């Protein structure tokens, strides 16, 4: 599912970024560009990151 509509970034891309070592929204923002335009996706992106970190 798309999380960031501004950049067409999916939840799977965010999970993959965490698998590759990203730990924070700032990390994923740097890697993928998520939440760097309108910012509306920041909360959901952060939830996905936290959930994924809990799983790993
Ligand atoms: Fe992600 Fe706009 S939806 S920056």
Q: What is the ipTM of this complex?
A: 0.98
> How much distance in Å is there from the Cα of 14 to the middle of ligand 1?
13
Residues spanned by the domain of 37: 2-55
Per DSSP, 18 falls in state H
pLDDT band at 29 (very low <50, low <70, confident <90, very high): very high
| Residues sharing a CB contact under 8 Å with residue 15, sequence separation 6 or more, in sequence order | 48, 52
- Residue keyed to tokens 């890697």: 31
Please tell me the distance from the alpha carbon of residue 19 to that of residue 51, in angstroms, as a whole number. Answer: 12
> How much distance in Å is there from the Cα of 20 to the middle of ligand 1?
22
* Position 3 pLDDT exceeds 90: yes
Query: Which CATH number goes with the domain that contains 45?
Result: 1.10.10.1100
> How much distance in Å is there from the Cα of 54 to the middle of ligand 1?
24
User: Which residues have any ligand 1 atom within 6 Å of their CB?
Assistant: 4-6, 34-41
pLDDT band at 7 (very low <50, low <70, confident <90, very high): very high
Reference 46, options 8, 5, 15; nearest CA is 15
| Residues sharing a CB contact under 8 Å with residue 51, sequence separation 6 or more, in sequence order | none
| Number of domains the chain is built from | 1
Share of the chain above pLDDT 70, in %: 100
Q: Please identify, by atom number, the ligand 1 atom nearest to the C-alpha of residue 35.
A: 4
């Amino acid at each position: 599912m798309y999380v960031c509509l501004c950049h067409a970034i999916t939840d799977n891309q965010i999970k993959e970024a965490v698998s590759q070592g990203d730990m924070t929204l700032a990390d994923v923002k740097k890697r993928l560009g998520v939440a760097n335009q309108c910012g509306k996706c920041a909360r959901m992106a952060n939830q996905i990151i936290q959930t994924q970190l809990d799983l790993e």
